[in-house]
Amino acid sequence: MNCSRNKHVLASALLVIAFVLHFSEAIFAQDLDPSARTHLSDVLNKPLSPRAAALGNAFVAMKDDPNTLFSNPAAISSVVIDSERENEIAVSYSHYVLDINEGAVVYEHPVPESFLFAGDFAAGVQYFSGGTSTEATSTGEQLGTFSTGDVALLLAYSSTASNGLHYGVGAKIVSSSLVSGSSVQDYSATWMAADLGLYYEWTKQLMTFGISALNIGTELSTYAGVHEAVGPNVQFGASKKLEHMPLTLSLAFHNITRDREGHSILYALNDFSVGAEFVMGKVIRLRFGYENELRHALNVPTGTGFAGFSGGVGLHIKRYDIDFAVNDQGPDFPSFIRFGLRTAF
């Protein structure tokens, strides 16, 4: 009976997501350049937490992590700490080169079943800082400095529809600045968007499945009047915990609805990630990942090296999780270093 009801709920939710995607594209893409290859919301599609980054961003079907706020809002209600549902906070920081960095803070709060909106709420702040650069004329005269950066505020709610099936919705507002503090002109834009997600845990088979439609939105203000697309980014993924090994394997497909440019559906599936997480006793977790689209994007004349590959380690000490990850960017670019801390209270 529960299985049949789960199937009906899942089918209905998928239809709702499909309808919203179709409706949003029809409304929000009227004045956009159809040949555009990038979206404003691409800054939101990068893995922020070290755990997600180490797993190659194969995170849409992950559980027990408040950072799923950025990949699938439905998985927020899967967060369980030591067999209990508690408040949890996660902080992450990534350093690139020079003074370029980004980070995020997420707070997750479970609501008891006795309340009207039983489930979980999560709020987050995400930022990217492109650092400070010198502004100069064509003759080399220095006029001052300018900075680049983005800030996003996110809020999401997730609950359980039936046994093993979770749903989630989220909203975000983003402020982006390409040039701020310039003596000539500031270039900034703002946009708002919604996230939808489903998450299913097949306990008997030690498997989880996730699908999300992220960044369904529109611009509130533009860069100097130039309209650009906001989204969406549709993702699907699954994870499997091996029965006789302390290993969880993950697979995710990103940007499934992107323009295939005349290619078959297999072209859209090229944007995939795989990840593996080993639980080495009570304290150490080893993680490895591969992101296919990133490897193709970093293909330069000098080669690709280990571009697209990632790794990391997590330390679970009492009620704290300390995470570290390295993402290789190929021979011409420095690796990204990421740090994170999670705790329940």
CB contact burial 165-185 (16+ within 10 A = b; e otherwise): bbbbebebebbbbbbeebeee
Structure tokens at 70: 């950025």
Taking the CA atoms of 181, 187, 192 and 193 in sequence, report the sign of the dihedral they define.
negative
Which residues are within 8 A (CB) of 104 and not within 5 positions of it... i.e. 6 or more apart? Answer: 48, 49, 67, 70, 90, 91, 92, 124, 125, 126, 127
Lowest mean pLDDT among 9-23, 64-78, 165-179: 9-23
20 pLDDT higher than 70: no
Per-position DSSP letters for 74-108, written without gaps between them: GGGGG--BTTB---EEEEEEEE-STT-EEEEEEEE
Number of Cβ within 10 Å of residue 80's Cβ equals 14
pTM, 2 dp: 0.81
Lowest mean pLDDT among 2-11, 181-190, 319-328: 2-11
Amino acid 20 reads V
pLDDT on residue 226: 77
Measured CA to CA, the distance from residue 307 to residue 330 in angstroms comes to 4
83-118, pLDDT tens digit by residue? 566 789 999 999 887 788 899 999 999 887 767 777
Length of the chain counted residue by residue: 345
Structure tokens at 261: 């440019």
16 pLDDT higher than 50: no
